[in-house]
C-alpha cells in the first residue's frame, strides 16, 4: 500500500512551497559560484513522469521525436508502480529507468537521495519535467545536476508556484492535447535558439501518432488460451470478445462510470448478442471489484479476467478483442498501441486534452462544469456527485455501440 494521493498533495503543498522557494535561492547561489554549460551537447536526457501511466503513454511521441532527432541516451524516472508501462512501450531501455518507491516516507526519502547520485553517475545533462506544475518534480529537476532543465512555466497564467529551476520555460497550452504539450517540451530541448516562451512552432496531429505494437500469432494464441481458461466454453470460431474496463486510477476517482451502469449495459449486450463474451480485465487487486459486477450480471458469458494477464500481454488481449468500453484510465491509453476501437468515458477531464491516441470514440456529455480537474487545481475537484458521467446512460451507450456490435 503506497502513500495516499491526498497525503502526497498535502506534502507537495506544505513542504513543497517552502522547499521550492529555498531551493531556488540555493540554485541561484550555486549558479553564481559554479557555472553550468547550457551549450554543452545533449548526450543523456532524463524524463520525469511520476504520477500516471496514461501520461507516460501520451509522452511517448515526444520521447520518440528526440530519439529520432539526436544521437542520445534517454532515461526516465517514475514511481515504481508505474514503471511497467515503460517496458510496454520499449522507448526507454530498462537499465535507464530509475524507480522511486512511494510505499512510505522513509523509502521515498532514501530513493530521492539515490536519485541525485544516479543522475550524476549517469552524467544527465538535460531534464524534461513532464509533470504539470508538481513541486516535487521541480525539485528533482532543479537539483539533478543537469545543465538544461525543461518544463512548464505559468508565466502570467494561473498555476502552482514551484520555484524557478527551469532553463527552458515552456508555456502550457490548456487548449491543445497534452501530447502536443509534451512535444512542445521536446521542441524546446531541440531548439537552436532561445525563445520566451518556448515553443513557437506548429505541432501537427501526425506528430502525436503512437507506433503500433507488433503482435504475432503466438502471442494471440497464448492470450486466447487464457480466455479459454477463464471461460471453458470459449470457442474462438464463435465468440467475439468485448472488454469492459470498469475501474480507474485513485488519482481522480470521479472518472468512474457507475458500476451499476456497467452491469446494466452488460445485460443488454449479452441478451441481444449471443456471440458476445464480456471480459473484465484488471490487476489481481481488482478481482473482488470485478467479481461484484459478474455476480450482479449473472451470466456465464460475463467473465472476471482480473489477474489473468501481465501488462506486457495486454496488447495481445486488445488485438483479439472487438472493442473496449472503458473509464478514462491507464488501459484506455495502453490500447492505443493497437488498432482495437475503444469507447472512453470522460467528464471530470475532456477528450480534447486527454483522449487516447488510438481508435477512440469519446463518451462525453459536455456539462457546463466539465472538465472540473486541471493542472491549475492539482487535479482536485469539489464535486462529490459525477453527474457528468451518470447522465451518460447505459441506453445511450448501447446505441453508440450498436454499429460495432452489428458489424461483428
Q: Which residues of 68-93 are buried (b: 16+ CB within 10 A; e: fewer)?
A: eebebbbbbbbbbebbebbebbebbe
Residue that is last in its domain, among 208, 238, 268: 208
What angle in degrees, to the nearest 10, is found between the helix axes of 259-272 and 394-406? 40
Domain encompassing residue 268: 217-406
Whether residues 113 and 179 share a domain: the answer is yes
Whether residues 262 and 180 share a domain: the answer is no
Residue 54 vs residue 231, higher pLDDT:
231
Task: Decide: helix, strand or coil at residue 32.
Answer: helix
pLDDT at 19 (0 to 100): 92
Question: Which pLDDT band, with edges at 50, 70 and 90, does 305 fall under?
Answer: very high
Whether residues 169 and 311 share a domain: the answer is no
Whether residues 123 and 262 share a domain: the answer is no
Spell out where 137-213 has E strands. 148-153, 168-171
Question: Which pLDDT band, with edges at 50, 70 and 90, does 108 fall under?
Answer: very high
Q: Which helix (H) or strand (E) holds 183?
A: helix 178-190
pLDDT at 14 (0 to 100): 81
Whether residues 134 and 238 share a domain: the answer is no
pLDDT at 114 (0 to 100): 98
Question: Which pLDDT band, with edges at 50, 70 and 90, does 253 fall under?
Answer: confident
For residues 44 and 123, the answer to whether their CB atoms sit within 8 Å is: yes
Number of domains in the chain: 2
214 phi/psi in degrees, rounded to 5? -90, 115
Whether residues 51 and 131 share a domain: the answer is yes
pLDDT at 12 (0 to 100): 82
Q: Which residues pair with 364 in a beta bridge?
A: 346
Residue 99 vs residue 54, higher pLDDT:
99
Distance (Å, whole) CA 113 – CA 103: 16
Whether residues 94 and 204 share a domain: the answer is yes
Whether residues 136 and 231 share a domain: the answer is no
pLDDT mean over 9-16: 80
Q: Is the pLDDT of residue 1 over 60?
A: no
Whether residues 188 and 237 share a domain: the answer is no
Residue that is last in its domain, among 208, 240, 265: 208
Q: How many percent of the chain have pLDDT more than 90?
A: 75
Distance (Å, whole) CA 112 – CA 370: 36
Whether residues 89 and 224 share a domain: the answer is no
Burial class (CB in 10 A: 0-12, 13-18, 19+), 352: middle
What digits encode the pLDDT tens for the residues 114-155? Answer: 999 999 999 999 999 999 878 999 999 999 999 999 999 988
Whether residues 150 and 240 share a domain: the answer is no
pLDDT mean over 248-274: 90
Q: For the beta carbon of residue 317, count every other beta carbon within 10 angstroms.
A: 28
Question: Which pLDDT band, with edges at 50, 70 and 90, does 334 fall under?
Answer: very high
Beta sheet of 323-327, edge-to-edge order: 302-306, 276-282, 240-245, 323-327, 342-346, 360-364
97 phi/psi in degrees, rounded to 5? -105, 125
Q: Helices (DSSP H) in 208-359: which residue ranges?
A: 217-230, 259-272, 287-297, 314-319, 330-334, 351-354
Q: What CATH number is given to the structural domain containing 200? A: 3.40.50.2000
8-state DSSP, 236: T
pLDDT at 118 (0 to 100): 98
| CA dist 73 → 111, 227, 395 (Å) | 22, 39, 50
Mean pLDDT score of the chain, rounded to an integer?
92
CA atoms within 13 A on the CB side of 267: 13
Q: How many percent of the chain have pLDDT more than 70?
A: 95
What digits encode the pLDDT tens for the residues 17-43? Answer: 899 999 999 988 887 776 666 666 889
Residue 72 vs residue 35, higher pLDDT:
72
Cis peptide, bond prior to residue 108, ω within 30 of zero = no
Q: Is the pLDDT of residue 2 over 70?
A: no
Question: Which pLDDT band, with edges at 50, 70 and 90, does 376 fall under?
Answer: low
Residue that is last in its domain, among 208, 233, 257: 208
Whether residues 204 and 258 share a domain: the answer is no
| CA dist 314 → 67, 184, 259, 281, 340 (Å) | 25, 30, 23, 9, 12
Amino acid at each position: 500500500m503506497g502513500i495516499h494521493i491526498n497525503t502526497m498533495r498535502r506534502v507537495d503543498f506544505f513542504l513543497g512551497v517552502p522547499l521550492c522557494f529555498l531551493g531556488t535561492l540555493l540554485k541561484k547561489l550555486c549558479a553564481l559560484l559554479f557555472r553550468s554549460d547550457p551549450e554543452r551537447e545533449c548526450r543523456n536526457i532524463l524524463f520525469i513522469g511520476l504520477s500516471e501511466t496514461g501520461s507516460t503513454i501520451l509522452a511517448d511521441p515526444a520521447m520518440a521525436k528526440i530519439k529520432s532527432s539526436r544521437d542520445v541516451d534517454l532515461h526516465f524516472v517514475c514511481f515504481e508502480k508505474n514503471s511497467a508501462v515503460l517496458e510496454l512501450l520499449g522507448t526507454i531501455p530498462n537499465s535507464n529507468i530509475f524507480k522511486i518507491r512511494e510505499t512510505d516516507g522513509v523509502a521515498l526519502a532514501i530513493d530521492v537521495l539515490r536519485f541525485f547520485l544516479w543522475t550524476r553517475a549517469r552524467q544527465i545533462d538535460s531534464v524534461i519535467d513532464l509533470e504539470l506544475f508538481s513541486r516535487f518534480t521541480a525539485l528533482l529537476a532543479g537539483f539533478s545536476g543537469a545543465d538544461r532543465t525543461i518544463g512548464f512555466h505559468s508565466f502570467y497564467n494561473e498555476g502552482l508556484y514551484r520555484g524557478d529551476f527551469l532553463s527552458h520555460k515552456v508555456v502550457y497550452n490548456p487548449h491543445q492535447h497534452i501530447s502536443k504539450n509534451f512535444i512542445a517540451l521536446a521542441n524546446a530541448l531541440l531548439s537552436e535558439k532561445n525563445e520566451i516562451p518556448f515553443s513557437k512552432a506548429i505541432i501537427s496531429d501526425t506528430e502525436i501518432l503512437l507506433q503500433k505494437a507488433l503482435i504475432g500469432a503466438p502471442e494471440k494464441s497464448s492470450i486466447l488460451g487464457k480466455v479459454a481458461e477463464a471461460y471453458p466454453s470459449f470457442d474462438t470460431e464463435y465468440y467475439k470478445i468485448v472488454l469492459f474496463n470498469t475501474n480507474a486510477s485513485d488519482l481522480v476517482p470521479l472518472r468512474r462510470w457507475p458500476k451499476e451502469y456497467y452491469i446494466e449495459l452488460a445485460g443488454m449486450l449479452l441478451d441481444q448478442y449471443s456471440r458476445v463474451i464480456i471480459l473484465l480485465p484488471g490487476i489481481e487487486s481488482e478481482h473482488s471489484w470485478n467479481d461484484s459486477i459478474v455476480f450482479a450480471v449473472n451470466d456465464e458469458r460475463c467473465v472476471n479476467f482480473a489477474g489473468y494477464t501481465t501488462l506486457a500481454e495486454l496488447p495481445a488481449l486488445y488485438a483479439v478483442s472487438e472493442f473496449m468500453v472503458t473509464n478514462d484510465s491507464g488501459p484506455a491509453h495502453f490500447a492505443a498501441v493497437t488498432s482495437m476501437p475503444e469507447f472512453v468515458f470522460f467528464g471530470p477531464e475532456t477528450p480534447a486534452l486527454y483522449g487516447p491516441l488510438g481508435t477512440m470514440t469519446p463518451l462525453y456529455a459536455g456539462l457546463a462544469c466539465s472538465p472540473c480537474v486541471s493542472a491549475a487545481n492539482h487535479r482536485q475537484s469539489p464535486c462529490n456527485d459525477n453527474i457528468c458521467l451518470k447522465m451518460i446512460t447505459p441506453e445511450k451507450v448501447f446505441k453508440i455501440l450498436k454499429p460495432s456490435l452489428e458489424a461483428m
